[in-house]
Structure 1
Amino acid sequence: MENQDMEDKMTTLSQVMAKLAQRGIHREYRMDEEGNMKLDNSERTYNPENLSILKTYRFEGDSNPADNAVLYVIRDHEKNIGFILDSYGADSNYPGDKFDAFLRDIPVEESDEYNVE
């Protein structure tokens, strides 16, 4: 039940992001308009196989289903660690299916090391 305890302690996206930032995880992987995944708008692009999902956090709004978000802690093949943030449900941050397909193809290597306490 350790995960349940974690959910009780860290209930908001801003709390989790603040804890991750304290651990040096503050850079964002984002998909650009052409469908290229980049770290902090750099010129380097990543394929799903260049990345790993280390931890997934899901957040649901109490009163509004549109307030759903998911935060993925991501590591690239060069050991850079950052995050991908997306709303989920009816409204995604990214239009079309390209982002969802990209995300599904990222290998998952869940690690308790990235739990925030």
Structure 2
Amino acid sequence: MKTHVDMNTLSQILEKLRQKGLDNEIKMTDHGKMQGVGQNKIYNPDDLTIIKTYRFEGDSDPADNSVLYLLEDKEGQIGYILDAYGMYSSQEIAGFDDFLKKIPTADRDMQELFS
């Protein structure tokens, strides 16, 4: 998927987030809670908003799919959830899909973020 700023790979988007200081990954813990990696911040679905979703397919294997969710928390901090989907889903913890479905969405133009 191409964005307005001509980034079409997962690594390009993750690198741009890193350059902007927004490489705050959010993962589900073994206890079924969403937590910022390296942070003591625990999130409920209503603490987050999905502001952009990017989907990627592998060049050599269409089953090699991933999705990147850009999120904003109630304090305005940007973070992301990265997941493989389909048969290679990397989220095996029960409750991940339910948690994700409960996060409100507000699809935004992210050009200002990546410019």
TM-score, normalized by length of structure 1? Answer: 0.84
The change in CA–CA distance for 1:70 and 1:7 in structure 2 (over 3 A counts) is farther
Displacement of 1:67 after TM fit? 1.8
Cα deviations across residues 81-102 of structure 1 (Å, max 9, x unaligned)? Answer: 1111000111211115510111
Picking from 88, 99, 106, the partner of 1:102 is 99
Match runs of 1:1-117 below 5 Å = 6=3, 9-113=6-110, 116=114
Shift, 1:65, TM fit: 3.1
Return 18-27 or 6-15, whichever deviates more: 6-15
Whether the aligned pair in 1 keeps the contact of 2:32 and 2:94 (CA below 8 Å) is no
Number of aligned residues = 114
Question: Aligned-pair distance for 1:19?
Answer: 1.6
Per-residue deviation at 1:20?
A: 2.0
Are the equivalent residues in 2 in contact too, given 1:28–1:82 (CA < 8 A)? yes
Partner Cα distance (1:72, 1:5) in 2: 15
User: CA 1:5 to 1:86, structure 2 compared with 1: closer, same or farther past 3 Å?
Assistant: closer
Q: Which has the higher helix share?
A: 1
Unmatched runs of 5 consecutive residues or more in structure 2: none
Alignment root-mean-square deviation, CA: 2.2
Unaligned runs of 5+ in 1: none
Q: Distance in 2 between matches of 1:45 and 1:91?
A: 26
Change (3 A) 1:91 1:5: closer
- Please report the TM-score for the alignment, with normalisation by the length of structure 2: 0.85
Residues 10 and 33 (structure 1 numbering): CA distance in 2 closer, same or farther, change over 3 Å?
same
TM-superposed CA distance for 1:7, in Å, is 7.5
The alignment-based identity, stated in percent, is: 45
